[in-house]
Chain A
Amino acid sequence: MSTLPVGATFVLGIATYSAGACASLASWRRPAIARYICCGAALAGAALEGLAAVLGILQGTPIRWSVPSGIPLFAYSFSYDALAGFFNLTLAILAIAVSIYSFGYLKEFEGRRNIGFFGFLFHLLLLSLTIVFTAANAFLFLIGWEVGALAAYGLVAFYHEQRESRQAGLLYIVMAHADVGCLLLGFALLIQGSGSAEFASFHAAAAQLSSGRQSAAFVLFFLGFAIKAGVIPFHIWLPAAHPVAPSNISALLSGIVIKTGIYGMTRIFLDSLGGVPSWAGLAVLIVGVVSAVLGVLYALMEHDLKRLLAYHSIENIGIILMGLGAALIFRVAGHPLLAGVALIAAMFHTLNHAIFKCLLFLGAGAVLHSTGTRNMEEMGGLIRPMPVTAFCFLIGAVAISGLPPLNGFVSEWLTYQSLLAGFGAVGGLTRILFPLAGSMLALTGALAAACFVKAFAITFLALPRGAESRNAHEAPRTMLIGMGWLTLACAALGLGVTWFLPVFDAITEQLLGQRVVAHLVTGHGLVLSAGMRTSGTVSTAGIALGLLVLVLPAALLVATGVRRFGRKRGPVWDCGLPGLSAENEYTATAFSKALRMIFSVLYKPRREIQAVFDVSPYFPKEIHFESEIDSMFEKRLYAPLQEFIVRFSSRMRTIQAGSIHAYLAYIFVTLVLLLLFGVRK
Chain B
Amino acid sequence: MPFVPNPELGNRIITLMAALVLVLQIAAVGQRWIVSSIRIFAVQSFLLGAIAAVIAYFNHASHIYIAALLTVFLKAGLLPRLLERLVERVGIRREIEPLINVPLSILIAGGLTLLGYVVAESFHHPEETSARAALGHNTLAVAIALFLIGFFAMVNRRKALTQVLGLLSLENGLFLAAISLTYGMPLVVEIGIFFDVLVAVMVLGILVFRIGETFDSMDVSKLRKLRE
Question: In the complex, what residue of chain A is closest to B225 when comparing beta carbons?
Answer: A658
Task: Give the most central of B144, B151, B225, B226: most A CB within 10 Å.
Answer: B151
> Which residues of A have CB within 8 Å of B99?
661
Helix, strand, loop or mixed for chain B's interface?
A: helix
Judge whether A601 is part of the interface by a CB distance below 8 angstroms: no
Q: A679-B118, A679-B121, A679-B122 are in contact. Are A661 and B228 (CB under 8 A)?
A: no
Judge whether A594 is part of the interface by a CB distance below 8 angstroms: no
Helix, strand, loop or mixed for chain A's interface?
A: helix
A654 to B221, CA, bound (A): 16
Question: In the complex, what residue of chain A is closest to B120 when comparing beta carbons?
Answer: A679
Judge whether A668 is part of the interface by a CB distance below 8 angstroms: yes
Question: In the complex, what residue of chain A is closest to B121 when comparing beta carbons?
Answer: A679
Judge whether A657 is part of the interface by a CB distance below 8 angstroms: yes
**Docked complex: A643-681 residues within 8 A CB-CB of B:** 653-661, 664-665, 667-668, 671-672, 675-676, 678-679, 681
Judge whether B148 is part of the interface by a CB distance below 8 angstroms: yes
Choose one: A660, A671, A678, A679; the contact of B221 (CB below 8 Å).
Answer: A660
Question: In the complex, what residue of chain B is closest to A672 when comparing beta carbons?
Answer: B115
A671 to B119, CA, bound (A): 12
Chain A, interface size category, equals 20 to 34
Judge whether B223 is part of the interface by a CB distance below 8 angstroms: yes
A664 to B148, CA, bound (A): 12
Question: In the complex, what residue of chain B is closest to A657 when comparing beta carbons?
Answer: B227
> Which residues of A have CB within 8 Å of B220?
660-661
Choose one: A654, A659, A664; the contact of B224 (CB below 8 Å).
Answer: A659
> Which residues of B have CB within 8 Å of A671?
148, 151
Q: A664-B154, A672-B148 are in contact. Are A658 and B119 (CB under 8 A)?
A: no
Judge whether B155 is part of the interface by a CB distance below 8 angstroms: yes
Judge whether B152 is part of the interface by a CB distance below 8 angstroms: yes
**Docked complex: B155-182 residues within 8 A CB-CB of A:** 155-156, 158
Choose one: B121, B144, B223; the contact of A660 (CB below 8 Å).
Answer: B223
A653 to B144, CA, bound (A): 33
A654 to B154, CA, bound (A): 21
Min distance, Cβ B195 to any Cβ of chain A, angstroms: 25
What string of 1s and 0s marks CB contacts (under 8 Å) between B207-227 and chain A? 000000000000011011111
Question: In the complex, what residue of chain B is closest to A675 when comparing beta carbons?
Answer: B119
> Which residues of A have CB within 8 Å of B151?
664, 667-668, 671
Interface pair A656/B228, CB less than 8 Å apart = yes
Interface pair A681/B122, CB less than 8 Å apart = yes
Q: List 10 A-B contacts (CB under 8 A).
A: A656-B227, A658-B224, A658-B226, A659-B221, A661-B155, A667-B151, A668-B151, A668-B155, A678-B119, A679-B121
Which residues of A approach B to under 8 Å, CB–CB? 653-661, 664-665, 667-668, 671-672, 675-676, 678-679, 681
Give 15 A-B pairs besides A664-B155, A678-B119 with Cβ atoms closer than 8 angstroms: A656-B227, A657-B224, A657-B228, A658-B225, A658-B226, A659-B224, A660-B220, A661-B221, A668-B152, A671-B151, A672-B115, A676-B118, A679-B118, A679-B121, A679-B122
